Structure 1
């Protein structure tokens, strides 16, 4: 049975075979038809394809799936329209949320497992976009040759068994019965010839150079960029994403590791490769709250910036929400409302009590670099909430004696005089 199914290694009773798009077996462990039956896809019992099931750290799909994906992206105009769109997409699908899956347990045990679906969707999305990266494509090319060799080795094993069986039959026959022994000897020779034929095919396969795939290197590189562009494009709807997923992923098996408090995902890629992903599961009572340092940064940034600007500053510093999402104006607004942080409102008279670096330097009469160096040296009080963010200065502090000392020192510096030299000519002479 399918090795990643929870019933793998157990005796499974098949009660009924149905066709629901694909063949389905209704099964149970007890064998009693009165028990709740579980639908199991028929392909999970197929031993002929079990040789292609393998778990690898580098996920990849078959070359046929890559060709199908390239044609699909070509249909939607990936090379012209979607690449030009290029903007990041924040999913607004209402179906994303908690995931519930029916386990195989019965007899009063829990009939459903549940976990948050957002982080699962994000993890599968990253894995999906990774199967068209150069390393994954190289693994897919090598896997195509390995699958041929595996098939030949299986044929060789069967041929050797048939030859050994034919020899045992010939050896057990009565030598006096010439008619029987001649027929058994002919069968034995035919089986040995079959073994030699397969061995020759294996030797030829190992020496032959790998066949070039129909897609060139530039096309493979373009495939990775096109897939990411189509997936991230705002115009890409859920229906197209489902077509892409079904082209590359056969199924995803989800389970919970209660000991490690993790969500265990086994992605079954088209072609037989399996990849295991482990995601942390939110523990009971755990909240995905925004970290306190981000809240404090927002509390300071509202002194000089609106929610749009704050969202941009947070994203530029690589910060995310408690759920791991990028910041938007709406999310900053929701954070302020929950934390009771007042909104930034420009003063009607333009007399702002708090200024950024450019405004404070202009008011003081020095360059922004001079003021920044003074603030970093602690010569004047200034706030810098985030490394990739604005400086914040109080207008009252810019009128202090410390600020006056910075201005006087800058004016006395002959290497960096403030203003233009008196003998400097104007670039645009007066015409009046």
Structure 2
């Protein structure tokens, strides 16, 4: 305990730290180990997520070292795929920040005799000495990392405001606060024409206690308004930011290249060592010779894999930006809105930019507006008032000019004729579909428009049966007279049905099924006789 309080107690060190010959803690002299550990911290600083570090290592084809703690190969350094649990161990270990600690965990024996280990809060540690030995990061950076990890961990609990940025299109994911109850609002996605549309929902009380949803607000319009605010804020810094990002990407690519090159050198060393061991063995001792030959072949395979990985990565690595490329970046960065709207920009990166500028956004919905109160990192506040987005039925509503045109044309035309006339003028329905007779009828019923048939009936026109009874003839006779022009009929619908006007009282009565005779034009000398004949 006395040695621990002085920071001199010898402990098992994490990978990347070793004891020198005099017992001081130093960085591992293996540059490939140093580069891998440093890469974990730099990637976490860039991405802000332990899982993103794992994905970055996998994407670059990088391995991570570890020392075996048990078995015949105890203490040997081996390399393998980086795991999420390993990243968390590295990020939470104060030794990487140059700090000596003791008493972080305590053991407790249960009633059944089993032992459990519990991690104590920092204020209960027995010893904590900062800047005790060299580290990969400073203590201040370690504190920042712990704060970020704690914020990310809340994504698995009730408070999701500080959750890490995800790939979904909701720009304010994890930053939205309900303006009614003060709770954290989550994101719900709906599919519209193959695209995911966000909706911010305050439903924690509804889930926990079965209450109704406090608020649900469509998020597309809010994200657009916040994007405009962001563009107005960031545009003056677009040039410097774009070039800084380009330089950072180049530096990260060079660092990954150095790590892969070190892996090739390490594999070459092990292959040469295995070769020397094989050549030094007595050829007559076949048991040992066969084993050493198999080990040599294994190291040669590892060397080939490391070399292939290195060469593939070298082919994909474009190196630093040339002056021409920097000029192109400069020209593109001058138009930051184009960069922001570029489909190639990942949504996760847009959210990371948002979190650099915004603390949170409080949403409150009324009957007519949505109020968005934004808190900026610098302490300033902005308030946006947005209209309530149209409902789905309102978006698909038939344009007023189309309804007015249908109402006018119904005076003289049938449904199919109206559809042909409006289509020739380029008019479509509220959903963008071409107009047809059935759709014209549906629009007429929805807007309570009188049909063409009803309008003709209102003018006093008679149906086929009515005019036949009035004239005392059959319906076929009426149709014949209409075709001969003796009766006036108007087309009532698309079924080729007609409505008829009352005939003139001076038309001759039919005799023996013959069509009536049209009266002769009246003259001064024959007016009286013609009238008597008609009567």
Higher relative contact order (CA 8 A, sep 6+): 1
TM-score between the two structures when normalised by the length of structure 1: 0.28
TM-score between the two structures when normalised by the length of structure 2: 0.23
